[in-house]
Amino acid sequence: MARGERRRRAVLAEGVRTAERAARGGPGQRDGRGGAPRSTAGGVAVAIVVLSLALGLSGRWVLAWHRARRAVTLHSAPPALPANSSSPAVAPGLFWGTYRPHVYFGMKTRSPKPLLTGLMWAQQGTTRGTPKLRHTCEQGDGVGPYGWEFHDGLSFGRQHIQDGALWLTTEFVKRPGGQHGGDWSWRVTVEPQASSTSALPLVSLFFYVMTDGKEVLLPEVEAKGQLKFISGRTSELGDFRFTLMPPTNPGDTAPKYGSYNVFWTSNPGLPLLTEMVKNSLNSWFQHRPPGASPERYLGLPGSLKWEDRSPSGQGQGQFLIQQVTLKVPFSVEFVFESGSAQAGGNQALPRLAGSLLTQTLENHAEAFRERFEKTFHLKEKGLSPGEQALGQAALSDLLGGIGYFYGQGLVLPDMGVEESEQKVDPALFPPIPLFTAVPSRSFFPRGFLWDEGFHQLVVQRWDPYLTREALGHWLGLLNADGWIGREQILGDEARARVPPEFLVQRAVHANPPTLLLPVAHMLEGGDPDDLAFLRKAFPRLHAWFSWLHQSQAGPVPLSYRWRGRDPALPTLLNPKTLPSGLDDYPRASHPSVAERHLDLRCWVALGARVLTQLAEYLGETEVAAELGPLAASLESAESLDELHWAQELGVFADFGNHTKAVQLKPRPPQGLVRVVGRPQPRLQYVDALGYVSLFPLLLRLLDPNSSRLGPLLDILADSRHLWSPFGLRSLAASSSFYGQHNSEHDPPYWRGAVWLNVNYLALGALHHYGQLKGPHQARAAKLHSELRANVVGNVWRQYQSTGFLWEQYSDRDGRGMGCRPFNGWTSLVLLAMAEDY
């Protein structure tokens, strides 16, 4: 019996014993008048009170325990994906991939204990001491631009990386075969920048292999002590071999002289990998090409004798890294060969290297170009070659940012009380896998729920199978209540990159249900494989939507409130609403349970509509009968007007305890503090014109003949409010919150900047209303054309200037802002170019 269960029963038993003693009038049970025992009736009354208290306390404890347990229990509905869907037996083509988006180049298997490979590099002799070791994508490391020129999401990719005077090209290609995911090969080419006039540098490349368990790596050594290849065996991969091929000049097959070092040790843990290698670069060696002067370089002082390693590492995996150092320019190939792929035929397959690798890479590049045009028609639409290259990069960087994660998240259960009153420790969610795209390889290299719906709108057009895999994994994260955490921090590597205060996900916090956007597209497209997937996924989709609808219900029927707003702290201009995805977008100045959030209601309306249509298609009559009336009520113009039309503002708006008389003022020594003036807050509509105001339009909830459509188009098109030459602002330039810091050290985020995801929704809505007969058809079509030109034109100019897609763009001069590369929803620029909504 669990400790908690024993304690619960002990409380009940003690309560019953106390009540029994009281009923019997046991020792010490005397009244205050004469010391005589209490009457039987008095004893029974006391017994009832004590027993009621004991049962009441115990009942509340049991309810709390039940809530906490459900928060970290997986949902019981059948999975949307087949059992072992990530294994090489079920999905051999996806078993190996570039599923480590946070490193510049690396591959691993889709496995809880994967075999990992990766690349590091360092330019020797440029600084005193240890050279800069490049490995993980970082915002401030000076590398860039970088990104995938081509990536098909499955078997091929070509990436370019600028690092100071160096230009690196990393390529990979997979060859199917056998029972373990097939073979693959890398080629890494390092060249000087065309504009560089400095002497050709000496560069070290580091190729590493790492196991995460008891699997064994066996290095094979040549007579001179040089590493010949690495062999190994795991239960998932069978026998395999890694070979580092001799370096050559780019485009040549003649070998080029290189100096080699090797390091073999126990697995230090992924978060410590870079630092361990950096600290191990502590010995000087000589690079001595024939006929050239020797040069010093820092190398790994390793040994290939495992007994030289610390015995404490046994059983925790192995780490083997090969360093090759030589003069730029050069190419190096790294080849993985699967034993079952090589044994699959009567004749051994030729090694995927040299001229065969060159030809295979070019074949895949040409196939990518042809498939891209057939899918998105950018050339046919008259876009320039440069804009077509932007589109290819947007897609490729999104696909190249797909990762596979496995681990346990931290969850704070919903205890049924307001968060300020909740006193409970977070618990570990069960170990779970996640196959997902990420917003940014450098800054957000993990899964985000509301981002992923936008990601999959792009991925789905290219490869619906990848979208089914991603959606199936996300739906696999459902807990027993139907909740999915909005940020997935799975595994030590992901956890190491997140501040501690953001590690815990709260089981009462929602996120916009954007996964329903690709679901709706699946339903409209009618692809048999998509529809078969939706049939399996339906119970989980329904559970997820039901949780959202019920847990975020507002103070009056058909209203909704984001749980999880920040409290009204004295340092915050306007408490944030992180679960909404719009973070610091202004809401009611004083958070309260009386709030009604317009965007959330619109998301729930969209969900009810999509789930109703899906239930009707699948013949789920009970669910259709349940959700159909809800969808109709939420899309009712009368209901929307009653709860969210602010007549005095002339727009839809949030409602809550609000005053505009709030500002940050300096107050030494505290710094900036929030000051509330007059008028004092009262229940009213929130004057914060911006993206939230447009949600009935963005999600196409308005009838084309609606009297509210015209005013929304007026605001959208007005440069004093939302229109800018670079896209729609997140907050009107006329708002008192426009461009305002939320605290002394918290700059504006959703307070004016142009965001691609919402601009894409706006383009889709304008295109939609531009196709439907009504009084605003012509104007909507014209605005669509103009907005598309502004958004696409600015993203293209910034890409030309910086080589990056950005998190957001300035509404004042169009420059990229926030983190970069941001190849998540900013990749929607491709669908905007294709006019695919």
CA distance linking residue 281 with residue 132, whole number of Å: 11
* DSSP letters spanning 557-574: TT-B--S-PPP--TT-SS
Overall residue count recorded for the chain in this entry? 837
* DSSP letters spanning 236-296: TTEEEEEEEPPPB-TT--SB---EEEEEEEE---GGGHHHHHHHH--EEEEE--TTS--EE
HEC letters along 362-409: HHHHHHHHHHHHHHHCCCCCCCCHHHHHHHHHHHHHHHHCCEEEEECC
User: Pairing between strand 504-506 and 410-412?
Assistant: parallel
Is 418 noted as a catalytic residue in this protein? no
Selecting among 149, 333, 530, 807, the annotated active-site residue is 807
CA distance linking residue 437 with residue 397, whole number of Å: 10
CA distance linking residue 152 with residue 90, whole number of Å: 20
- Residue 519, C-beta contacts closer than 8 angstroms, at least 6 positions apart: 471, 534, 537, 541, 610, 614
Selecting among 583, 626, 718, 836, the annotated active-site residue is 583
Cβ burial 515-554 (10 Å sphere, 16+ → b, else e): bbbbbbbbbeeebeebeebbebbbbbbbbbbbbbbebbeb
- Residue 763, C-beta contacts closer than 8 angstroms, at least 6 positions apart: 784, 787, 788, 791, 832, 837
Q: Return the SS3 of 583.
A: coil
CA distance linking residue 677 with residue 662, whole number of Å: 6
C-alpha angle with apex 734: 730 to 740, nearest 5 degrees? 65
CA distance linking residue 367 with residue 356, whole number of Å: 17
Is 5 noted as a catalytic residue in this protein? no
**Residue 512: alpha-carbon gap to chain centroid:** 14
Unique residue bearing structure tokens 């360092």: 122
Query: Among residues 818, 799, 102, 830, which one has the least CA distance to residue 401?
Result: 102
Does a cis peptide bond (omega within 30 degrees of 0) precede residue 748? Answer: no
Query: Among residues 455, 492, 204, which one has the least CA distance to residue 327?
Result: 204
C-alpha angle with apex 616: 610 to 621, nearest 5 degrees? 120
CA distance linking residue 25 with residue 19, whole number of Å: 10
Query: Among residues 714, 817, 694, 689, which one has the least CA distance to residue 759?
Result: 694
CA distance linking residue 132 with residue 358, whole number of Å: 30
Query: Among residues 219, 212, 267, which one has the least CA distance to residue 235?
Result: 212
Q: Return the SS3 of 825.
A: helix
- Contacts of residues 50-54 at CB distance under 8 Å and 24 or more positions apart, as own/partner, are 50/15, 50/18, 50/19, 50/22, 51/15, 51/16, 51/18, 51/19, 53/15, 54/11, 54/12, 54/14, 54/15, 54/16, 54/18, 54/19
Q: Please, which residues bridge with residue 230 across strands?
A: 219, 242
Q: How far is CA 313 from CA 211, 267, 319, in A?
A: 12, 7, 10
CA distance linking residue 640 with residue 622, whole number of Å: 26
Query: Among residues 479, 465, 457, which one has the least CA distance to residue 540?
Result: 479
The gap between the terminal CA atoms of the chain, to the nearest Å, is 55
CB atoms within 10 A of CB 253: 12
217 near 211, Cβ under 8 Å?
yes
Residues noted as catalytic: 583, 807
